[in-house]
Each structure stands twice: as C-alpha cells, then as structure tokens.
Structure 1
Amino acid sequence: MAGDLDLLIGTWTVRVKGWVWEYDFRRDGGVTWRDLGSMESGVGNWAASSKLVNMWWKGSTTRESWQRPLTSDNDHTWYESSYYRGKYRIEKTGFTPPSPTPPSGPTDATLIDVAWDASRTSLRFALNRMRLLQRQIKYFEDSGGSEDAFNELRRNYRRDIAVISRKLLVPLNAMDPAFRSALASAINLVEQNLALPKSLNAARAGGKCVDPRPAFAWTTPRRKPPDTDLCTSWFTSNADLQRDVVTHEYFHTVGLGDISVNNTTDALGNANTMAQVVAFLHDRARQKNSDGNEQMIPALPTP
C-alpha cells in the first residue's frame, strides 16, 4: 500500500462538523493545518502503520486517524477530541484520477491461435457433414430407393447438397455419380488438411510477405510441414476471413493451387474453392464468401 502514501502528500480539505480545514502533508512526516474560515493554523506530525495514518498536533490533545489504503475522497476517518468524537470527510485538493489504461488489442499470437482453432473447428464440422451425407446417400442406395431414406436426404442435407453442387460444379442430385465422386474427393482433401500440424508465422511485412503482390498470406505449395507466412492485411481482417485464409493456405500445403475454376477438376484443385466449401458447410446461414464476394444467387438453403 505504499502507493497510497504518495496520494497522502499534498493538500487535503477536511470537514469536521461545521469547520473546514486545510491539511498539508509533507514527506518528512510533518503536517500543517489552517482554518479556511479564519486565520488560525497549526503544525503537527503524521505517521503511518499498515492500516492507519495517524496525526497529532502541537499543543493539542486532538488525535486523528485515516484508514488505509487512502482514497481521494472518503470518510474512513476518526476524530478524537474534547469537542468532537467521530467520523469526518476528507478530500484531496486538486486530485485528478489517472485515466484508465485503454485495453490493449489482442497480440499476433492470440489472433493466430484463435484463427487456427476456428479453422480446425470448421474443417471438422464440414468433414462430419460430408461423411454423414455420404452415408445417407449409401443408405438410400441400399434401401432400394425408399421414400423414407429419400425424404431424410432432402430434409437433413439440402444445404450440404447445394454447397457441393454449387461450389464443385456437379449436378444438384446427390445420387449422380459426378456428385458422389466430387464429395469423396472433397472428404479426402479435408482429411489431409486436418492432419497437418500448426505452423503459422506472423510475418506481417517480412518473410514471404515481401512479395509485392497483395495477399493475406503465402504458403509454399506441397511443402510439409507448412510454412505459412501471415501478412499485415491478414491481421486487420475479420475473424471469419482470418479463419478461412488459414484453411485456404493449408490446402496449398495439400497441393491445391490458385487457379481459374471451369469444371469440377479445377474446383477440387483450387484452394479458395475448397476453403469456401468448408466455410459454407460450417456457417449454416452464410450466403457469400467471408471476404464479401460471390453472393450466392439463388440463396443457399438454411440452415
């Protein structure tokens, strides 16, 4: 509590019954008082214990105590004299409370940890949805095309089927061989992404981010373990985009590129397409990419 004794030093306004006095404390243990309504004044001493600041005055039997820790305006006090016994009010003169320290933003390491965890969570969720869809397709096939199996497929997997169809450029028919083949390939790619270790570097403007081409991150394709460098623009992006960039970059490690998409083979070979498949499967109400582009028209089913 030594810091509260720093607060003690200086001038205080003291109100006892109808009197208003001014006390001036010095670091050497001396204290003076003066009556603001008259010219009366005096001198005394103060001393601090672990719980109190005690005062006594020259030529007087009056004793005073202030409870510690001190605050700039309080009545945690005691006055003992022949004319008054009790609590009274004290206030530090001209005291301005220190401005609160603004909370610091998250560190680079924290942002990376959050994005990594979110990326892995979205991948696991998307993988689970695709595996369940794959099983339901097989169940429908094995049932000989039962109406119950078909209704469950439509009721529970409408969005998943639409995402796979729209993003991987296959028919909107889960029983179509092209759909089933693309689904199996997507499952395999997500499994590979999930198996990779965490290796994300806060490069900002250094490392591979010195490349003048604008990018959120850079990763050497097919290099294992990954060597992803996160650039300055990544750190100022929204959380969903940070998550999806991590997912995207790890698809580069799997072997996917940044290519134009004209058919299913291209889609399965494009890191951005696969990252968005994961995002749209995980974010059940999402209707556009996390960077705000590619609005889904018509809208995807929800949830």
Structure 2
Amino acid sequence: MAGDLDLLIGTWTVRVKGWVWEYDFRRDGGVTWRDLGSMESGVGNWAASSKLVNIWWKGSTTRESWQRPLTSGNDHTWYESSYYRGKYRIEKTGFTPPSPTPPSGPTDATLIDAAWDASRSSLRFALNRMRLLQRQIKYFEDSGGSEDAFNELRRNYRRDIAVISRKLLVPLNAMDPAFRSALASAINLVEQNLALPKALNAARAGGKCGDPRPAFAWTTPRRKPPDTDLCTSWFTSNADLQRDVVTHEYFHTVGLGDISVNNTTDALGNANTMAQVVAFLHDRARQKNSDGNEQMIPALPTP
C-alpha cells in the first residue's frame, strides 16, 4: 500500500467539529498544522502501520488515526482528545484524480496477424483433409472395392464428403467422377491460396474501402502480390469471420470472383464458396457460415 502513503504527502484540509485546519505531511515523518481561522499552528509526527496512519502533536495529548488505504477524501478517521472524540472529515488539497486509463484493445496489426495466422492454419488443415480423402478414394479404387476400404472412407470422411458435395454441387458419392474432379480442383485452389505472401492493409475507410458499396475488404482479382485492403467492418467482426474474409480475399488473388453459384463450375469460381469449403472442413462442428448465413439443412455430419 505504498501508493496511498504517496497520496499522504502534501497538504490536507481537516474539519473537526467547527474547526478547519490544514495539515502538511512530509516524507520524513514530520507534519505541521495551522488553523485556517486563526494564526495558531503546531508541529508533530506521523507513522504508518499496515492499517493506520497515526498522528500525534508536540505538547498535546491529542491522537489521530487515518485508516489505510487512504483516499483523497473520506471520514475513515478517529480523533481522540479532551474536547472531542469521534470521526472527522479529511480532504487532500488540490488533488486531481488521475484520468481513467481507457481499456486497451488489440491493435489493428494484432488483429491482422491473428486473422492471417488463422486463415493459413485453416487452409493447411482443409488441404490435409482433402488430400487424405483423395488418397482414401484412390485406395478404395485400387482395392477393387474392398469393404474395409469403403468402411474407412465412410467412417473417417463423412463430413469432408458432405462438405464437398454440398458446397461444390456434386453427388454425395466420393467415387463419382464429378466429385473426384471437384475435389482435385479444390485442392489446387487451396494450394494456390496458401502459396501467396502476406499483404493485408488496415485501410479502414481509406484505400479501396472508400468504395461506397459495403464490404469487409477489397482485393484486385489476380493481382500478385495481393493488395487486400481491410475495411472498418472487418475490424469489428468476430474472429472466425475475420479469418474467413482473409481466406476469401486471397481466393480473389488466385482469380476467383464474387458470382452467383448455379453449378460446380460456378462454385469453384466463387471466392466465398471456396472460403466456406475451407471453414467447414476446418471447423468440424460448424453448421452455418461465419457470417451467420446459410444454415446447413440437413445438418452436416460431425466431427
């Protein structure tokens, strides 16, 4: 509680019954008093225990105690004398309380770093799942339709198969040529996304974010290195959405657009679709997009 003793040092206004006095405390344990209504004054000493600041005066039997921790104004005091016994009011003279420190939040750079790392992590995880699925399909094919290989495929890759089928608009059959072709294309796109360097700008309302159309971010399609500008709405979004927007924007750099999805070709050419393929493969319990849209009905298998 050394801090409250720092507060003690200096001048205090003391009100006892009808008297108003001024006490001036020094660090060496000395204290003086003067009556603001007369010329009377005196000297004394103070000493602190863990719970009290005790004060006594030269040539007087008066004793005073102030409770710790001290505050700039209170009546947590006790006065003991022949003429008064009880509490009284004390106030630090000229005390200005420190301005409250505003709560510190993550910086733009911290948010960007976290979203970038999360995007790369989810891409690597999704890529690994798709490659394992692709190998298991090949193993099943090479086994001549082995029941064990089929059971392994169904048991360990149910969610992955469902995500690819649902998002890329192909049959829910991993052996179907359309499924296998879409899976190979998705793997290629994720590999391209992962190969791109970090180039994320905290534009907020500037740069490409000056476009009046609402957006979390803007990227010039196919421009390499990427030139992604992150807008104000991105910084106020949840962490999953921030992650998925970065993934989405980097699919623009790969060459994908923002288009309507009516078939597999459209799905593989749409940045949002591919970003959500990655998110649903990574987040094994996810049942809707990170922006809260597109609830999966029926629900995707988990995990």
TM-score by length of 2: 0.77
* Distance in 1 (alpha carbons) for counterparts of 2:193 and 2:155: 29
Q: Describe the SS at the equivalent of 1:180.
A: helix
Q: Is structure 2 residue 66 aligned with structure 1 residue 66?
A: yes
1:17/1:210 Cα in 2 relative to 1: closer, same or farther (>3 Å)? closer
The CA deviation string for residues 17-36 of structure 1, in whole angstroms up to 9 with x for no partner, is 99999953269997225899
Q: Describe the SS at the equivalent of 2:111.
A: helix
The CA deviation string for residues 160-201 of structure 1, in whole angstroms up to 9 with x for no partner, is 000000100111000011100100110010011011111000
* Alignment match, 1:187: 187
The CA deviation string for residues 239-277 of structure 1, in whole angstroms up to 9 with x for no partner, is 111110000000000111111111111111110100000
1:63/1:219 Cα in 2 relative to 1: closer, same or farther (>3 Å)? same
Q: Describe the SS at the equivalent of 1:115.
A: helix
* Distance in 2 (alpha carbons) for counterparts of 1:2 and 1:236: 40
1:127/1:16 Cα in 2 relative to 1: closer, same or farther (>3 Å)? farther
* Distance in 2 (alpha carbons) for counterparts of 1:222 and 1:15: 77
RMSD: 5.5
TM superposition shift of 1:298: 1.0
The CA deviation string for residues 119-139 of structure 1, in whole angstroms up to 9 with x for no partner, is 011101100100110011011
Alignment of 1:195-234 (within 5 A): 195-234=195-234
TM superposition shift of 1:60: 9.0
1:52/1:168 Cα in 2 relative to 1: closer, same or farther (>3 Å)? same
Q: Describe the SS at the equivalent of 1:230.
A: strand
Structure 1: gaps (5+ residues): none
Structure 2: gaps (5+ residues): none
TM superposition shift of 1:103: 2.2
TM superposition shift of 1:238: 1.1
The range that moved more, 22-31 or 50-59, is 50-59
TM superposition shift of 1:208: 0.5
* Distance in 2 (alpha carbons) for counterparts of 1:15 and 1:145: 96
* Alignment match, 2:31: 31
1:300/1:50 Cα in 2 relative to 1: closer, same or farther (>3 Å)? closer
* Distance in 1 (alpha carbons) for counterparts of 2:231 and 2:31: 60
TM superposition shift of 1:214: 1.1
TM superposition shift of 1:237: 1.0
Give every structure 1 segment of 4 or more consecutive aligned residues whose post-TM-superposition deviation is greater than 6 Å: 1-5, 12-22, 26-30, 34-41, 45-57, 59-97
The CA deviation string for residues 68-122 of structure 1, in whole angstroms up to 9 with x for no partner, is 9998899999999999999999997998975753421211111111111110111
1:210/1:92 Cα in 2 relative to 1: closer, same or farther (>3 Å)? closer
TM-score by length of 1: 0.77
1:43/1:225 Cα in 2 relative to 1: closer, same or farther (>3 Å)? same
